[in-house]
Structure 1
Amino acid sequence: MIALLLALGSSLAYGCADFLGGLGSRKAHVLRTVMIAAPASLAVELLLWPFLGASFSAQTVAWGAASGVSSAAAFAMLYKTLAMGPMNVLSPVTALVSAVLPVGVGLVQGEHLGLAGLVGLPLALVAVVLVSAGQGTGATRPSRTALLLAFGAGAAIALQLVFLHQAPSDSGVGPLIVGRAVSSAVTLAAAGLMYRKLGSERPAYAMSATAGVLDSVANLLFLLASRNGDLAVVAVITALYPAGTVLLARTVLAERIHRGQLVGLGTAAIAVSLLALT
């Protein structure tokens, strides 16, 4: 139950972070947004260090660095994807892709589910599909480029989560600190190489920083959840984060929610209830 609640919290934080990051990237080049979000995220993890502890063994540094590279790629592709829109279609597509790989890794590593879990896990994946299938009549269709970016972002997110899960369980927030330091360095290096292409538009500073803070909180909650439960279950619950993005897009941007998406949200609630019994 603790792992489930942590995963739900991670899902909510990811959903809010993605919405703010995507919205902020509409006003400036995506790298300008990530240049603010990634360091803000690192600052949060450094503040948590004295309270949650951290160790930096060779394994921790290696897996943390790998997660950082994946995180930098996920940041850039995801925010660019959501900036292109529509959020209520592209965010769920990314989530579906990001759920499949960690679930597969967890099952391959020998995780076993009870009857409720065997029903709830595929039901949760179906819920993500239903939420992603929400194009009603007159809804905006995503471009091919946006869809490709959504798939790429999903794969990068999946790798980030898998790499974090592989870090030693006694490493505290060490892998998060290493990962975010690496992702910040990669982002700043990319921005330096592409400086002339970034344009003169200023990013939404507060919005971008808040997205980074929420992403850091989401990563922490996922790490704690995966240490207290099965990766397969935690990953698929975390992958339900588009629910938050979709609802925020509906409230703030007046993006339409298709009937299928509403069914998906209800299906997600049932799936979470079943997984709580595992």
Structure 2
Amino acid sequence: MIALLLALGSSLAYGCADFLGGLGARRAHVLRTVMIAAPASCAVELLLWPLLGASFSTATVVWGAASGVASAAAFALLYLTLAVGPMNVLSPVTALVSAALPVGVGLLQGEHLAAAGMVGLPLALAAVVLVSAGPGTGAARPSRTALLLAFGAGAAIAGQLVFLHQAPADSGVAPLIIGRAVSSAITLAAAGLMRRRLGPERPAYAISATAGALDSIANLLFLLAARSGNLSVVAVIVALYPAGTVLLACGVTAERIHRGQLVGLGTAAVAVSLLAVT
């Protein structure tokens, strides 16, 4: 139950971070938003160091750095996907892959589910697809390149979660600090190389910094959840993060929730209830 609650908290924090990051990216180039969010994210993890401890063993550094590379790759591939194809088709692909791969890794590592979990897990995967899908009638058919990018983005997100899970359980927040440092260095270097294309708009400092802080909290809650529960369950609950984004968009910016997303939210509630008793 503790792992499930932590995973739900992580999912909500990811959804809020994505919503705020999206608002920030509407006001200035997305890399300008990241240039504020990344240091804020690092600051939160460094503040957590004295509270939760950190052990920088070789394994921790390797897995943390791998998660950072995967995080940076996920960022790039997500926005490439957004640029080349219909997101109401490709977003569910990305979400499903990001959930399914960690589930497969967890099951291959010997995790077992009770009968309720065997029903709840596929329901949760279906909810991930429904919640992340757009209105989608008459959408253009995505190209093979767009589908490959969507799979790549999902795999990169999954990789970040799996690599964090592989870090030693007694490493504290060290894998998060290493991962954030690596992903920040990569994205800031990209921003430096592209500085002439970033435009003159100033970033939304408070929104961007809050998004970065929430992303760090989401990573921490995922790490704690994965250490206290099954990766196969935790990852699919975390992948429900679009639900938080959808609900915030509805309440704050008055965006409509379409019928499929409502079905997805209901399916997610049923799935979480079943997983809670496993």
Both proteins in one fold, TM over 0.5: yes
Displacement of 1:151: 4.3
Residue type of the alignment partner of 2:201: E
- On the 8 A contact 1:68/1:181 being kept in 2, the answer is yes
Q: Tell me how many residue pairs correspond in the alignment.
A: 277
Residues 1:78 and 1:215: Cα distance change in structure 2 (over 3 Å): farther
Residue type of the alignment partner of 2:240: L
Displacement of 1:194: 1.6
For 1:67-126, what per-residue CA distance to the aligned partner results, in whole angstroms no more than 9, with x for missing partners? 111112334444677799998876555322210111111111111111011111011011
Alignment correspondent of 2:223: 223
- On the 8 A contact 1:102/1:232 being kept in 2, the answer is yes
Is 2:253 the partner of 1:253? yes
For 1:101-154, what per-residue CA distance to the aligned partner results, in whole angstroms no more than 9, with x for missing partners? 11111111111111011111011011112223441669x879879877654432
Alignment correspondent of 1:4: 4
Partner Cα distance (1:166, 1:214) in 2: 22
Residue type of the alignment partner of 2:24: G
| % identical aligned pairs | 84
Displacement of 1:166: 0.5
Partner Cα distance (2:127, 2:220) in 1: 24
Residues 1:136 and 1:29: Cα distance change in structure 2 (over 3 Å): closer
Alignment correspondent of 2:55: 55
- On the 8 A contact 2:95/2:129 being kept in 1, the answer is no
Residue type of the alignment partner of 2:187: T
Partner Cα distance (1:246, 1:143) in 2: 23
- On the 8 A contact 1:81/1:149 being kept in 2, the answer is yes
Alignment correspondent of 1:186: 186
Q: TM-score, normalising length from structure 2?
A: 0.90
- On the 8 A contact 2:131/2:243 being kept in 1, the answer is yes
For 1:185-242, what per-residue CA distance to the aligned partner results, in whole angstroms no more than 9, with x for missing partners? 1112111222222222211111111110000000000000000000000000001111
Partner Cα distance (1:23, 1:161) in 2: 25
Alignment correspondent of 1:161: 161
Is 2:252 the partner of 1:239? no
- On the 8 A contact 1:128/1:239 being kept in 2, the answer is yes
Residue type of the alignment partner of 1:129: V
Partner Cα distance (1:22, 1:85) in 2: 18
Q: TM-score, normalising length from structure 1?
A: 0.90
- The Cα RMSD (Å) is 2.6
Question: What are the residue-to-residue correspondences of 1:1-278 with 2, within 5 Å?
Answer: 1-78=1-78, 92-135=92-135, 150-278=150-278
